[in-house]
């Protein structure tokens, strides 16, 4: 993954509504909202016609305070949560592939350094092994 690609993904993550998101049923339909911090609504739905629904997104501007706007009344290409949702299908596989590539490199380093006897090489071996196990190398 190029540094530019990683920066694009990171910028989308930082611009989107913070905290973990989850679906909740509030009695009048599902909402996508944060799990903590006062359950900020990211997206909900309103009736459109007799048989369909339209998504609404919160605009978190200085004085708007999370007012919900119909998707056709906002610039969804510029809305941070819309961008995050729209790109997630490609961003996640790209990140997973990059993690796999990096884990492969760590395995290679672990193998190389496992055959060395000097203290610096043993330290590098331990760092690679702990990274592969998902633990902090400082443990």
In a domain, 15, yes or no: yes
Rounded CA-CA distance 60/52 in Å is 26
In a domain, 45, yes or no: yes
In a domain, 75, yes or no: yes
Q: At what angle do helices 80-114 and 119-133 cross, to 10 degrees?
A: 140
- Whether residue 94 contacts residue 25, with contact meaning beta carbons closer than 8 Å, is answered with no
Boundaries of domain holding 87:
3-133
In a domain, 139, yes or no: no
Per-residue confidence in pLDDT tens, the chain, 139 aa: 888 999 999 999 999 988 899 999 988 789 999 898 778 889 999 888 777 888 999 887 654 556 888 888 888 888 999 999 999 999 999 999 999 988 888 878 777 767 666 677 777 777 777 877 775 544 4
Rounded CA-CA distance 57/73 in Å is 10
In a domain, 138, yes or no: no
> What is the pTM assigned to this prediction?
0.73
* Count of structural domains within the chain: 1
The dihedral of CA 117, 118, 121, 123: what is its sign? positive
- Which structure tokens are listed for 74? 């906002």
Q: C-alpha dihedral over 110, 113, 117, 123, to 10 degrees? A: -70
């Amino acid at each position: 993954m190029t540094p530019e690609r990683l920066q694009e993904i990171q910028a989308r993550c930082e611009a989107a509504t913070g905290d973990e998101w989850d679906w909740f049923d509030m009695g009048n339909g599902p909402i996508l909202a944060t799990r903590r911090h006062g359950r900020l609504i990211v997206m909900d739905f309103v009736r459109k016609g007799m048989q369909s629904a339209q998504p609404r997104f919160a605009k978190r501007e200085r004085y708007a305070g999370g007012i919900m706007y119909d998707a056709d009344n906002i610039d969804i290409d510029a809305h941070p949560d819309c961008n995050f949702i729209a790109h997630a299908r490609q961003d996640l596989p790209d990140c997973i592939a990059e993690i796999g590539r990096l884990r492969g490199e760590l395995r290679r380093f672990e193998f190389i350094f496992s055959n060395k006897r000097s203290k610096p090489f043993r330290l590098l071996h331990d760092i690679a092994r702990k990274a592969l196990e998902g633990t902090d190398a400082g443990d």
